[in-house]
Amino acid sequence: MKILIAYGTTEGQTRKIARFCADRLIEAGHSVELMRAADAEGLDVGRFDGAILAGSVHIGQYQDDLIRFARGAAETLRLRPTLFLSVSLAAAGDEPDDWKGLQDCVARFCEATGWTPGRVEHIAGAFRFSQYDFFRTWAMRWIAARKGQRVVPGEDREYTDWEALRRLMKDWAESAGRGLSAPAVTARGP
Ligand SMILES: Cc1cc2nc3c(=O)[nH]c(=O)nc-3n(C[C@H](O)[C@H](O)[C@H](O)COP(=O)(O)O)c2cc1C
């Protein structure tokens, strides 16, 4: 299959996740085009057999460039097997309120873009203290402390489960190949 991966990222973890997904799909024999959503404007999405969109949650929102791209491509995406990867720190935990919040984020994304992904998966992201400014460092240290997470100032901490992501790529590509990815939102969580 020819697969598009378009992503939005603020501190870089979603780019790392998108590259990992691209590598796994290429290993499985697919052809992949990987790009930042900001660079995908005007792209002919009809050239692809399937698409993965990925973005990270920042104060309950995904990146504007991802929203713009999904809105512009919604008509074409709707006709193809698609997967939306929502990257967040809430997905690293098992707080029911946090998971409800993530589902609300996806619902707002669908409403803003007019696109309902064939499948939605929540992926745990990372603390990227190496990328934060002074304000963000303090805000994120406060969040970490509130959640009982131990973080070392200046040190990044990754929660992404790479093995689970590998399995997800295999599973999604197989079902996309069989044309089984029916439009419905599924979200993991308690
Ligand atoms: C300013 C800021 C706000 C964030 N807001 C949320 C949030 O509302 N919910 C959440 O689960 N994670 C939140 N996060 C965590 C990010 O989603 C997480 O760090 C993710 O890995 C970022 O991905 P990126 O590096 O691709 O931007 C926030 C992070 C920052 C720096």
Give yes or no for residue 114 having a pLDDT over 80.
yes
Query: What pLDDT, on the 0 to 100 scale, is given for residue 190?
Result: 47
pLDDT digits (tens, 9 = 90+) for 140-166: 888 888 877 777 878 889 999 999 999
Cβ atoms within 10 Å of 183's Cβ, excluding its own? 14
Query: What pLDDT, on the 0 to 100 scale, is given for residue 180?
Result: 52
- The CATH T-level fold of domain 2-125+160-177 is Rossmann fold (3.40.50)
Give yes or no for residue 88 having a pLDDT over 90.
yes
Q: Of 105, 101, 99, 90, give the one whose Cα is nearest residue 159.
A: 90
Q: How far is CA 93 from CA 38, 133, 190, in A?
A: 30, 25, 10
pLDDT digits (tens, 9 = 90+) for 58-71: 999 999 999 999 99
Of all residues in the chain, the percent with pLDDT exceeding 70 is: 94
Give yes or no for residue 126 having a pLDDT over 80.
yes
Residue 2 pLDDT grade (very low, low, confident, very high; cuts 50, 70, 90) = very high
Every domain range in the chain assigned CATH 3.40.50.360: 2-125+160-177
Residue nearest to atom 16 of ligand 1 (CA): 88
Pocket of ligand 1 (CB under 6 A): 9-14, 56-60, 87-90, 125-126, 128, 136, 140
- Mutate which of 9, 21, 56 to test ligand 1's pocket (most atoms within 8 Å of Cβ)? 56
- Mutate which of 5, 9, 10, 137 to test ligand 1's pocket (most atoms within 8 Å of Cβ)? 10
Mean pLDDT of 29-41: 96
Cβ atoms within 10 Å of 25's Cβ, excluding its own? 23
Residue 30 pLDDT grade (very low, low, confident, very high; cuts 50, 70, 90) = very high
